[in-house]
Amino acid sequence: MRLRQNNLLMLRKLTVVALGMFAFGYALIPIYKHICEMTGINILALGEKELPGSGNARLSKADNSQVDTSRTITVEFDANARGPWQFKPMQSSVQVHPGQLMSVMYEFQNVQDRSMSAQAIPSYAPSEASAHFNKMECFCFNQYTLAPGEKKQWPVVFVIDPKLSKSVNTITLSYTFFEVGSKTPAAPGSKVSAVSVSGEGV
């Protein structure tokens, strides 16, 4: 009898623990968000998802910073088209001071005979530059749908935070333009395509 009672108690405790672990799994999503914000790890996503506009903390921070004329940073622009479309920067590089607002254009053309949706993903070299490269406006914030043959020019407006480490004075900003829903291409000449490379959205 004692044994049965003990077992029931144990069962109850274990059920609570199991439910708790399950709930913890769900709670991980907001927990991760908070931890990343607190520690500042989540640099890339934060920069991209923020929309320009008033009340935006990052934007106002940049407004308040002075232009640091003692430093000149060379920003190089790179473009990678991951697919059959044309994509290039209109300028290959600019010289800019930290705190100075700068705008450059990228050109994109859908040379196919079908319309497509595309998303640009940015990347920075050296990687420590990404934390201090504030994009006020960028075509990488949104997806775009282009008709066949359509050509577009888009701006990137950015300001470099003066807090950027003194050892960095060249930054390469690179975009790769992916078709929405595209996956890793199959290896050339491969027999099996286990993953479909769909053209339309997922």
Partner 1 sequence: MSAVLDPHGHGAADHGHDDHHGAPHGWRRWVYATNHKDIGTLYLLFAFTMFIIGGVLALLIRAELFQPGLQLVNPELFNQFTTMHGLIMVFGAIMPAFVGFANWMIPLQIGASDMAFARMNNFSFWLMIPAALMLAGSFFMPGGAPATGWTIYAPLTLQMGPSMDASILALHLLGASSIMGSINIIVTILNMRAPGMTLMKMPMFVWTWLITAYLLIAVMPVLAGAITMVLTDRHFGTTFFNPAGGGDPVMFQHIFWFFGHPEVYIMILPAFGIISQIVPAFSRKRLFGYASMVYATSSIAILSFIVWAHHMYTTGMPVTGQLFFMYATMLISVPTGVKVFNWIATMWKGSMSFETPMLFAVGFIFVFTMGGFTGLILSMAPIDLQLQDGYYVVAHFHYVLVAGSLFTMFAGYYYWSPKWTGVMYNETRGKIHFWWTLISFNVTFFPMHFLGLAGMPRRYADYPMQFADFNAWASFGAFAFGFAQVYFFFFIVLPTMRGQGEKAAQRPWEAAEGLEWEVPSPAPFHTFENPPKLNADANRIVA
Partner 2 sequence: MMNNIYKKLETASLALAAYGATAAWAVNDLPGGPAVNQLNLHPPVTKIAEQQVWLHWFMLIICTVIFVAVFGVMFYSIFKHRKSLGHKPATFHESVKVEIAWTVVPFIIVILMALPATKAVVASKDTSNADLTIKATGYQWKWGYDYIKGEGEGIGFISSLDEKQRAMSDSGKPEPTDDYLLKVDNPMVVPVGKKIRIITTSNDVIHSFAVNSFGIKQDAIPGFVRDTWFRAEKTGDFRGQCQELCGKEHAYMPIHVKVVSAEEYTAWVADQNKKMAAKQDDPNKVWTLAELTAKGSKVYEANCQSCHQATGQGMGPIKGLDGAAVVLDADSSKQINVLLNGQNNLTMPAWKQLSDTEIAAVISYTKNNWSNKTGQLVQPAEVRAARQ
Contact call for residue 189 and partner 2 (CB under 8 A): yes
Contact call for residue 147 and partner 1 (CB under 8 A): no
Q: 145: exposed, middle or buried (C-beta count within 10 Å: 0-12, 13-18, 19+)?
A: exposed
- Of 36 and 125, which CB lies nearer to partner 1 in the complex structure? 125
Backbone angles phi, psi at 69, to 5 degrees: -75, -10
Contact call for residue 128 and partner 1 (CB under 8 A): yes
Judged by CB under 8 A, the residue of 31, 45, 103, 149 near partner 2 is 149
The residue type at 89? P
Contact call for residue 148 and partner 2 (CB under 8 A): no
Please choose, from the candidates 158, 45, 140, 126, the residue with its C-alpha nearest in 3D space to the C-alpha of residue 87. Answer: 140
Stretch touching partner 1 by CB under 8 A, among 18-26, 34-42, 149-157, 190-198: 190-198
Give the burial string for 77-87 (b: 16+ CB within 10 Å, else e). Answer: bebebebebeb
- Of 5 and 190, which CB lies nearer to partner 1 in the complex structure? 190
Contact call for residue 133 and partner 2 (CB under 8 A): no
Contact call for residue 186 and partner 1 (CB under 8 A): yes
Judged by CB under 8 A, the residue of 71, 82, 88, 97 near partner 1 is 82
What are the DSSP calls for 71-121, one per residue?
--EEEEEEEEE-SSSEEEES-SEEEE-TT-EEEEEEEEE--SSS-EEEEEE
- Of 67 and 180, which CB lies nearer to partner 1 in the complex structure? 180
Cα–Cα distance, 109 to 148 (Å, whole number)? 9
- Of 39 and 54, which CB lies nearer to partner 1 in the complex structure? 39
Cα 63 to chain centroid distance, Å, stands at 22
Contact call for residue 195 and partner 1 (CB under 8 A): yes
**Residues at the contact surface with partner 1, assessed by CB under 8 A:** 45, 82, 119, 121, 123, 125-128, 176, 178-187, 190-192, 194-195, 202
